[in-house]
Structure 1
Amino acid sequence: MGISSYNELIAYLENITRTESRILDSEEKFHSIKEEYHTVNYPDIKNKIIIMKKDKEGIFTSFPNEEVIKDKFTIRVKRRNIHFPKHRHQYIEIVYVLEGRVIQNINDQKLEMGKGDICILDKNVQHNSEPLNESDVVINMLLTPEFFDCVFMNLLSDDNHISNFIVNSLYSMNTTQKFITYHVEEKTTLHVILESLLKEYFSEKTRSFVAINGYLLIFFTELSRGLTENKEEAIDKFLKSLKNDLLLYIKDNFKNCDLKTMSKHFHFHPNYLSNLIKKEFGKNLKDILTELRMAEASHLLEKSDRTIESIMEQVGYTNLSYFYKVFKKQYGCTPLNYRKGIDK
């Protein structure tokens, strides 16, 4: 028998916190993390641990445990009796307040969250939360980037800058990422989806990950819509500035530029960057690079006496026959005939 109502869900989650309290009161090591390498038991999940250790900068970093690596997604009740130092994750965390409140310190900014508030923390955001009161019920959802690979990358095909921006902000390769906050109004689609997701997940005997994946997909879709009105102006401004930066980078690096290298430079997921370039320039990166390389090749043929092989290498090609093929498609003649035509 699964959890069928919100009241049943709250009662189930509160029972978990009461069980933890009894266990944690007798375990000094749960109250604070002080060692260079430390593991913490989660009593509500059998034989599962979360792993935290200091990185080279002295910052505690939480790594996905076996459960999260295997399932790529998990939901936990936020602990009332464990004090965690400021730390960051190697996965994405979604904090949702069902009852009461929680105060989070994120990137040296204090954020007070009340009932219905969501905070989505990207990887590597430094944060910690202040102790909860007995009436507070808060859950954490943990998602690995691989989970987005499997489930959410189709959001990138949505013709919507907001969706693309949200997915990228969650799945960026940057080491100093941001967070997203949003308030979920009761009885909205987003509220119903979140409640359904939690009831499904904590109904362990009847749990369906197919249903959970579906709820999460709708959750991010609805979140995109909800954020559109109050975020669109800022995102449009961001994209306008970004378009100039992208074009400048491509022009400066057209010889060796590729999607993977460019993604690392801008701290973007390759799928997001590819989609963004197509939206902003009306063509894909390969076509833009070809145009720039051919323009430079024609310029060198006109203004220099360098060999065609030398020019080919200068503009980023290594195969002469392929270079001839691309050049002929662009200008209707071979590089040699192009040069001869100019000489006449």
Structure 2
Amino acid sequence: MTLDRTTTSPRLIDRAPELSGAEMAAQLVPPRQFSHATLDNYRPDSEFPSQAEAVDAVRGFLTSWKPSGGLFSRRKAAPPKPGIYLDGGFGVGKTHLLAALWHNAPGRKYFGTFIEYTALIGALGYRDAVQLLRGATLIAIDEFELDDPGDTMMMTRLLGELVESGSRIAATSNTPPNALGEGRFAASDFLREIQSLADRFRTLRIDGHDYRRRDVQGSARGYSDSELDGIPSQQPGVVTDDSFTEVLRHLATIHPSRYVKLVDGLDGVIWRDVSVIHSQTDALRLVAFVDRLYDAQVPIFSSGVPLDQVFAPEMMSGGYRKKYLRAISRMIALTIGQDQ
């Protein structure tokens, strides 16, 4: 029965996308769900004043592009800091604010996740990547990560060169809601890593609840295999149908920089027989892939272990816990969102 199904349904594992450096650069724009993000349509939670304060701070950062004082000004204002860093739990609207900033910034600008920038460097080489990005008015980095010292120091060097050439930098970090102290520590780590830029960044703490759970509580929705059989006829468009094990195996054959093309044109993915992941490498690949699914708002339909329980307990207490919590939050949204 499974063999007949998979031979008549498109499969994710049959996709083998290629992505050039130029195509990667063209993809450095906000995800489509933030294509209309503005500071006016950001909805601050009144219980957390830091959210409204962050909106004001971003507005202030934007005014730094406007000329002030004029030729006959009595005194020059202190030069604005070239960087702004939004630190806080996931789901508090940091990406929305970052996208709103990007939309309002003048000139040539780029928006991408930390992994997208490191992938660009990997594809083009460091020097060519610097040459491509040099002259941009704004480099927006979503989900800046400190997990890999090598990548972090490479980005440190890149940002240093770009700031020296006149670019401004805006970045976000992710912190789980129950680890706010860790969020402040992560921010100080980031600023320490960028050393010479540290005193030029303004760091803002944004508190709050994950907006994806403000109105909807609970676990990721699961299906029986018989229910999954009917999904392709109920969900319009292209819906791939694979076993979860095959998906993990296939992700290992594709560089994460190409995951954006892997989800291109999809209207849903079916994962059968989801099981708990014990391999850290598999887990991190899944996190990267879920990010791309979330950016493209591709629904997930799955059977087996609920997706909010897919990471083994020992992983949820390890160094990548923040990433796994973010992925869980997004998978819940992509499954529960089918009923919204």
Do Structure 1 and Structure 2 share a fold, with TM-score over 0.5?
no
Does 1 or 2 have the higher relative contact order (CA < 8 Å, sep 6+)? 2
- The structure with more radius of gyration: 1
TM-score, normalisation: structure 2: 0.26
